Chain A
Amino acid sequence: MSVHEVKLCLLGDSGVGKSSIVHRFVYDSFRPAMTSTIGAAFLTKTVIVDGTTYKYQIWDTAGQEKYRALAPMYYRGAAAAIIVYDITQESSFRATKSWITELQKHASPNIVLAIAGNKLDLDDLRDVQYSTALSYADKQGTVFVETSAKSAANIPALFMEISEATHQN
């Protein structure tokens, strides 16, 4: 039986649901009134798939601008980074692009990048088209999924896809 450690961090604008995604993944629950993260929170989760143990070490960073300068601290040692945006907020998708650029420049060259369009449960209010985000992600060679921390849609899939990708590295 093999054990794989997956160090990853979540980045993205304030309020897009980074903590909610982590919360859903680690505790499989959803808190509607999540308060904003201060600094960064560290969580771990162990998942066993087909005899392989994945140990996730997750840095859930705060999205506010004042913490922006601290981000390298978290992505530098990471094997993967999930950049989260809110599908109902076009500006958060634009922020994703600048994160991708920064990571491609300053993170480890092997880092697995993933883009997660969160709040899929609010599809009615969608502001970022699936196809737009998908074609951008394809061009950048990143993993892409639309998720909902609220309904749990695609959350395990997101983390599985990342661990497989880091595994291959």
Chain B
Amino acid sequence: MAAEISNDSPSDEILQGSEPGASRNSMLLATDSYDDLASYLSDTNLSSDRDRLSSGSISEITHPTETESFDPKSVISEEVGPEVVENEINEQLENSLDVSASPVDEPAALATSDSDTVTERIGLDTPTSQLSELSTDHSQPEACTGNNSDEQEEEVEYVHSQEWRQHRKHVFILSQSGKPIYSRHGDEDRLVTLMGVMQALVSVIGDGQDLLRCITAGSHKMVFLIRENLVLVAAARSIESMPQLLLQLTYVYNQVLSVLTLSQLSRIFKQRRNYDLRRLLTGAEKFFDNLLNTMDRDPCFFLGAVRCLPLESSMRDTIAQSIAQNAKVKDLVFAILIADNQLITLVRMKKYFLHPLDLHLIFNLVSASESFKAAESWTPICLPKFDSGGYLHAHISYMDEECRSCLLLLTVDRDVFFTLSECKEKIRERLVKYKCLAAIAESVDQNGYKTSQVGIPELRHFLYKSRSAAQFSCPEYEAPYHTADQRDRLFGLYQFLHHRIHSSSRPLKILFHVGSHETLLGWVTSGFELYAVFGPLVTKSAAINSVNKLLKWIKKEEDRFFILNSPTF
């Protein structure tokens, strides 16, 4: 049973600007990740990547531009019967045809006929028949594949193996010419044909000036993100929505840029269309793996927000001051202190802001690399939202023996390692002297706060995001969500709630959903987003009373949970 209220707000709605965690002066860019997605979905011009991505510039800083509004009409969704696509793809594999190299007779027929009207919904039968034509067209594999058939037979076996198929979510990266670059599960070298099929699907639709975005096959969704040089594909058997999967692919794409920069990527493929990008991405697989695993359990990605380590605000100010005063180095753009995938403080150069998405990539860099624990490091990193065209240089070091808190100093000057190394030593001395490291260690060990501290017995868990601060807070995962399975299920509920509320066809302000195991309440205003989970027997009015009480509690604690000021050098 689900009851929805779309215009009826709870009694005492909080005025914007006074909601918990409201920040007039955020150090993070408060654009929603979904806004960017919207601009992607409404944009078919692939060459404007650079303009859309960058909020700043390494040589010259500009203020972020407004993102375009969401245009739901531009989404093409293709729903194909469950077995059809799977069978077709399998059939193609069995025929072991080299699709990427084969001419396709009726390229435009699969998609809508007219290039400008992408709104038309494609009928069920059209893609099916065309797909079968696609495979019958090339029913003589020997003719086009030559002596590759042994390898491809092996690949077919591999793709059909129970072990490979049972993974809940596959993610692939391939080049525009269909060369495998990365596969989340299994060896991408053995997926050449499969990726060829993906490339063929993309190019067939692309020939009609359309973009392939999603194929639904039963419980499987196949979502495509097509960028200037790369194609990213997610094939998932989950309740995640198409925009949520697309957002995840966007993160993966940005992770590629973070390693290579967009300029380098474009240059490489301009010189050689069939370049094997794996050469340059050696060693970066762990970043993709870690990012994808984290996205399956951390709500920060779909919320487009950052979680802060709870600390007394006076302590946080001391930390920020220690950093700001001891890192007065020309061209130092950001100084970031993090612990346990949470932000402790961020000191920035006055005109520069950091996008939460870039910060998530920084978290990913740190959590995926053991090597920073061994010695202070100096590495180039591209923050695609900041400037996708170039590298910042990061001085990375842990502040304590236990490797809890990690300091990153990001600069545009590649020759200041030793200056920054001195800064880091001074900062560390201050943090020790003022007992900041001890406070951080205590907070990390405490593992956040408990839902019971709120004092609402029927409340089980919640996510609260301050939109202006681009930060969110949530309590520890306790029973019944203490096991991995239950935690995954809760995560799925949040994704479901988030998707329903942000649904492009019918966005909601409030959603009250009664499930068999719990009751969910989602509430979104211009100032905040709140997703709360209650026991199954809670009534709507009780839930609304509870969230009002919850908001008051968060307001009382906001200094601890959120960074409300924005220190600069």
A residues apposed to B, CB below 8 Å:
14, 19, 23, 34-43, 60, 62, 64-67, 70, 73
Contacts and interface: CB of A to CB of B under 8 A. Distances in A.
A1 to B, nearest CB: 25
Interface string B363-380: 001000111101111111
A14 B375 contact: no
Contacts of A36: 283, 371
23 contacts: A14-B282, A14-B283, A19-B374, A23-B374, A35-B286, A35-B369, A35-B370, A35-B371, A38-B283, A38-B369, A39-B380, A41-B371, A41-B375, A42-B377, A43-B375, A60-B375, A62-B379, A64-B283, A66-B280, A66-B282, A70-B380, A70-B414, A73-B415
Given A65-B279, A65-B282, A38 B379 contact: yes
Given A38-B372, A38-B377, A66 B281 contact: yes
Contact of B280 (A23, A41, A65, A73): A65
A91 to B, nearest CB: 13
Nearest to A26: B375
A65 to B, nearest CB: 6
A60 B154 CA distance: 41
Given A19-B371, A19-B374, A66-B260, A39 B379 contact: yes
Nearest to A35: B370
Nearest to A37: B371
Contact of A38 (B260, B371, B414, B417): B371
B396 to A, nearest CB: 8
A24 to B, nearest CB: 12
Given A41-B375, A62-B379, 5 more contacts: A35-B370, A36-B283, A38-B369, A42-B417, A65-B280
A35 B287 CA distance: 12
A42 B376 contact: yes
Contacts of B308: none
Contacts of A73: 414-415
Contacts of A66: 259-260, 280-284
Interface of B: 259-260, 279-284, 286, 365, 369-372, 374-380, 394, 396, 414-415, 417, 421
Contacts of B283: 14, 36, 38, 62, 64, 66
A137 B34 CA distance: 58
Most chain B CB inside 10 Å of its own CB: which residue of A34, A37, A39, A65 = A39
A90 B345 CA distance: 48
A41 B369 CA distance: 12
Most chain B CB inside 10 Å of its own CB: which residue of A14, A35, A62, A70 = A35
A39 B374 CA distance: 13
Contacts of A70: 380, 414
Contacts of B376: 41-42
B413 to A, nearest CB: 12
A145 to B, nearest CB: 23
Contacts of B369: 35, 38
B26 to A, nearest CB: 29
Contacts of A60: 375
A41 B377 contact: yes
A40 B414 contact: no
Nearest to B381: A39
Nearest to A36: B283
A98 to B, nearest CB: 15
Contacts of B286: 35
B529 to A, nearest CB: 34
Contacts of A41: 371, 374-378
Nearest to A43: B375
Contacts of B379: 38-40, 62
Top 9 nearest A-B pairs (CB, nearest first) are A39-B379, A41-B375, A35-B370, A36-B283, A66-B280, A64-B283, A43-B375, A41-B377, A38-B379
A42 B421 CA distance: 10
Given A14-B282, A64-B282, A40 B377 contact: yes
Contacts of A62: 283, 379
B378 A42 contact: yes
A34 B373 CA distance: 11
A65 B396 CA distance: 21
Contacts of A14: 282-283
Most chain A CB inside 10 Å of its own CB: which residue of B260, B284, B376, B377 = B377
